[in-house]
Amino acid sequence: MTVHQMPADNTKPAYNYAYLDEQTKRMIRRALLKAVAVPGYQVPFGSREMPLARGWGTGGIQITAALIGPADTLKVIDQGADDTTNAVSIRKFFERTADARTSEATEEATIIQTRHRIPEAPLKSGQVMVYQVPMPEPLRKLEPREAETRKMHAWAEYGLMQVKLYESIARFGEVTTTYDYPVMVNGRYVMSPSPIPKFDNPKMHMSPALQLFGAGREKRIYALPPYTSVKSLDFEDHPFRIQSWTQPCGLCGAGDSYLDEVVIDDQGGRMFVCSDSHYCETRRAEGHRGTMLGDAAASGLVEETTP
Amino acid sequence: MIAPGFSDPVFQSQAAFRALLTALSEPGTLQQVAGEVPPPEGLTAATATALLTLADYETPVWLPEALRSGPAGAWLRFHCGATVVDKPAEAAFAVIDGMADEPKLSAFNLGTDQFPDRSTTVIVQIAGLEGGPALTLAGPGIPGSRNIAPLGLRPGFTDELRENGALYPLGVDVLLAHGEGLIGLPRSTQVEEAR
């Protein structure tokens, strides 16, 4: 760029609304429409270079950019939390490029972009979940050749996946996959739910919200329309089970949410806290107290709110 | 004189896309696209808006013979830069008249077993989205079942939709269009005459 082309400070940025150009958005939009028409099938798309590294959520960002408009409220979470690096920078990206209204409240958001979690608060009709997906192909670790996995999906040959789950049971007595647990969508396609814990799998089944999945590096988009059957693969004698914990959240006392284990000292001390930061804050604001809230507030880690 | 396209391409296409996305992810719901586009002769506002939102030089479009050489064909080439093709099977998007006998849905590109996403999206222009014989829909995007009553579909069109659904995951995706309204019928939807 030569000097006379430098934009003045007060001019608008040199890129389009929501960063992507309109032709790219059209291409992504067409892929999204085909993706909702064939739930669970991975639609190839021309993933673009984004101003952050692939693997940091470029697939999700491109879907959000194709979706977002002035009427939307965007929530971004990373491992359940609204305040981690990836979530904060993606939220800032859309505040800057699309003048987006953002929120941390699950119930206020119309678009929720997520990495590795589904919020604890139930999703509503009209909301759109956008998942950042690192590895869209559930069969890739079993069959490295794309030409082969494509045929396996085409002919619904999913025996290999069942064998993998069976081998896990044969060796360990249970299916040891705890995240990215494969699901069968609408009785036809085996799909990777992205690296969400298997705790979240049941939330996908018949969800009233539209769920879109973007893998930027692998150049795939797939989708689950609302009210779509999503069944975690299992066996009659080894039914699918979600994780459970022996204690509730140390801060808000929730016994029904997904908990992260946090090491708190070098003496083997640890605590369990909600991975969904907004859910935990909402519960604390409502007056729920976990056993370790006092300690955490005293050391300035969380604000103790009084209802 | 070619009719105008979007006056504000970024936001008009964004709003129209959200209506299209809801139409195809919640089949049978009536979606409205804002009718700010004066459509060329032969296209409804909903059809014109959908094509402006989705079609470009990457997507061949099939139009009925009468529209192809008329103002609609010129409008499409000018605003979208799309190729207008003669063979239904080559089209990414197609516009058909609900009462015309030909082409059948099966004449369009149904996708291949390895790439079912390459099928045609068919926009069917009909006389009304309400007031016709009732159809019952079921499938992804529909809690239980949902009824629609499109008016002005050719005899046997329900059978074509049923045969199209039986090809799942192959098949065309259908959008019923009238005025500014759209109803999506993706291939995943099972269509039956209501009793």
What is the three-class DSSP state of A263? strand
Does residue B25 form part of some domain? yes
Which of A250, A252, A253, A290 is flagged as catalytic? Answer: A252
The pLDDT, as a whole number, for residue B38 is 93
Query: A145 to chain B, minimum CA–CA distance in Å?
Result: 14
- Could you list the residue range(s) of the whole structural domain that residue B38 is in? 9-193
Does residue B2 form part of some domain? no
Residue B132 burial (C-beta neighbours within 10 Å; 0-12, 13-18, 19+) = middle
Cα(B74)–Cα(B67) distance, integer angstroms: 9
User: Are A68 and B14 within 8 A, CB to CB?
Assistant: yes
Residues of A in contact with B188 (CB under 8 A): 37-39, 186, 225
Domain boundaries defined on chain A: 22-141+180-231, 259-298
| CA-to-CA dists, residue A124 to A108, A151, A207, A232, A281, angstroms | 10, 36, 8, 22, 20
Tokens of A73: 């409220």
User: Are A151 and B114 within 8 A, CB to CB?
Assistant: yes
- Of the candidates A39, A66, A153, the beta carbon closest to that of B140 is on A39
Q: Which of B74, B12, B8, B17 is nearest to B41 (CA)?
A: B74
Residues of A in contact with B14 (CB under 8 A): 25, 67-69
CATH of the domain at B156: 3.40.50.11310
Q: Which of A247, A248, A244 is nearest to A283 (CA)?
A: A248
Fold of domain A22-141+180-231? Rossmann fold (3.40.50)
String of DSSP letters for A187-220: TTEEE---S-BGGGHHHHTT-SSEEEEEETTTTE
Cα(B95)–Cα(B122) distance, integer angstroms: 6
Is the CB of residue B45 less than 8 Å from the CB of residue B39?
A: yes
Concerning whether A250 is annotated as a catalytic residue, the answer is: no
User: Are B113 and A155 within 8 A, CB to CB?
Assistant: yes
Is the CB of residue A256 less than 8 Å from the CB of residue A245?
A: no
Does residue B1 form part of some domain? no
Rg over CA atoms, chain A: 21
Concerning whether A187 is annotated as a catalytic residue, the answer is: no
Is the CB of residue B71 less than 8 Å from the CB of residue B42?
A: yes
The one-character DSSP state at A75 is E
The pLDDT, as a whole number, for residue A302 is 79
Chain B residues at the A interface, defined by Cβ less than 8 Å, are: 9-11, 13-15, 17-18, 20-22, 24-26, 53-56, 58-59, 92, 113-114, 116-117, 119, 121, 139-143, 168-169, 173, 186-188
Residues of B in contact with A226 (CB under 8 A): 25-26, 141, 143
A131 bridge partner residues: A114, A213
Does residue B17 form part of some domain? yes
ipTM value of the model?
0.97
Residues of A in contact with B92 (CB under 8 A): 30
| Residue ranges in chain B whose pLDDT is less than 50 | none
Does residue B72 form part of some domain? yes
Concerning whether A280 is annotated as a catalytic residue, the answer is: yes
Does residue B3 form part of some domain? no
Inform me whether the C-beta atom of residue A31 falls under 8 Å from chain B C-beta atoms.
yes
Per-residue pLDDT in tens (0 to 9) along chain A, 307 residues: 444 445 555 556 678 999 999 999 999 999 999 999 999 999 999 999 999 888 889 999 999 999 999 999 999 999 999 999 999 999 999 999 999 999 999 999 999 999 999 999 999 999 999 999 999 999 999 999 999 999 999 999 999 999 999 999 999 999 999 999 999 999 999 999 999 999 999 999 999 999 999 999 999 999 999 999 999 999 999 999 999 999 999 999 999 999 999 998 899 889 999 999 999 999 999 999 999 888 888 887 777 665 5
Residues of B in contact with A22 (CB under 8 A): 9-10, 13
Residues of B in contact with A37 (CB under 8 A): 24, 173, 186-188
Place of tokens 């409502």: A286
Concerning whether A290 is annotated as a catalytic residue, the answer is: no
Cα(A110)–Cα(A123) distance, integer angstroms: 10
The pLDDT, as a whole number, for residue B74 is 96
Please calculate the CA angle A163-A164-A167 and round it to the nearest 5 degrees: 85
Cα(A153)–Cα(A39) distance, integer angstroms: 13
CB-side exposure of A135: number of CA atoms within 13 Å? 13
* Number of independent structural domains in chain B: 1
User: Are A29 and B17 within 8 A, CB to CB?
Assistant: yes
Tokens of A14: 């040199």
The pLDDT, as a whole number, for residue B85 is 96
Buried/exposed code over B45-68 (b: 16+ C-beta within 10 A; e: otherwise): bbbbbbbbbbbbeebbbbbbeebb
Which of A40, A59, A80, A216 is flagged as catalytic? Answer: A40
